Amino acid sequence: MKNFILIFIFVVQAFSFAKAERVDVFEFTKEELSKLKSHSIKKKTDYSILIDQNGTCVASKNSDLFKLKTKNSSDANLKIESNGCLKAEAEGQASGLGREIKVDLNKTPFLNITWKVEQGIPGIKENSKKGHDFAARVSVIKETGSLPWQKKVMNYVFSSNEKTNSHWTGPYRKQIIDYVASSLVDTKVNSWVTVKLNVKEHFKKFLDLELGEIDGVAIMTDTDNTKQKAVSYYKNIYFSN
């Protein structure tokens, strides 16, 4: 009986560990913001680091509030929890923030995002070149060659006009899929939304790519095509099983 109890406890602990596995992508600290890769299409989107206080992102002059809780792990990838969040504002601007990161999708295939849109971009056709702007998007990137354009990308977007779970081929490149992870059609403005997306499954289904590992993740809020103003917030972006 004693041996049975010990085996049972071990199995439960092993299951709990596997269930909780995650790889954080961004810390959302001021120090990290200065190190992220920035890609500008037309003028730079205004990105700023704030503090998440009970669901409200506020500015703070006290850098001590950015204390991080580091998990015990031998994984080379980030394993961090943070109370920071990212505010993005664009008005005729288009630039993104990215990070090169290898994530094993066989272990952690799901991308988790928590975000909200304070001001969306209503009345535009987001699947067209003239209307291809989003108040918030998180892109998962896989390099398929050595040239800059040799990439396949899943764009997970917070749409202002299309229904959640809608998707289409990007109007600029066939190797990019826009997938509506959240929408103002069924979500109130200024409301936090958390989504969980099966990246491994989506690359196979929409891009015909059996993917074991990604190469990078990027955030972008842009209105360079429509010249409207968009304001959004991001936090807690990580991969999990």
> What is the chain's pLDDT, residue by residue, as a tens digit (241 residues)?
555 444 444 444 544 445 569 999 999 999 999 899 888 887 899 999 999 988 889 986 554 344 333 233 334 443 334 479 999 999 999 999 999 999 999 999 999 999 999 999 999 999 999 999 999 999 999 999 888 788 999 999 999 999 999 999 999 999 999 999 999 999 999 999 999 999 999 999 999 999 999 999 999 999 999 999 999 999 999 999 9
What pLDDT shows up at residue 73?
34
What pLDDT shows up at residue 174?
94
With b for 16 or more beta-carbon neighbours within 10 A and e for fewer, the 85-98 pattern comes to bbbbbbebbbbbbb
The domain over range 23-240 is classified in CATH as 1.25.40: no
What pLDDT shows up at residue 125?
97
Residue 99 three-state SS? strand
Q: How far apart are CA 154 and CA 159, in angstroms?
A: 14
What pLDDT shows up at residue 3?
52
Structure tokens at 196: 């969980």
What pLDDT shows up at residue 85?
95
Q: Count the Cβ atoms, other than its own, within 10 Å of residue 61.
A: 5
How much is the pTM?
0.83
What pLDDT shows up at residue 69?
33
Are 181 and 140 a contacting pair, CB within 8 Å?
no
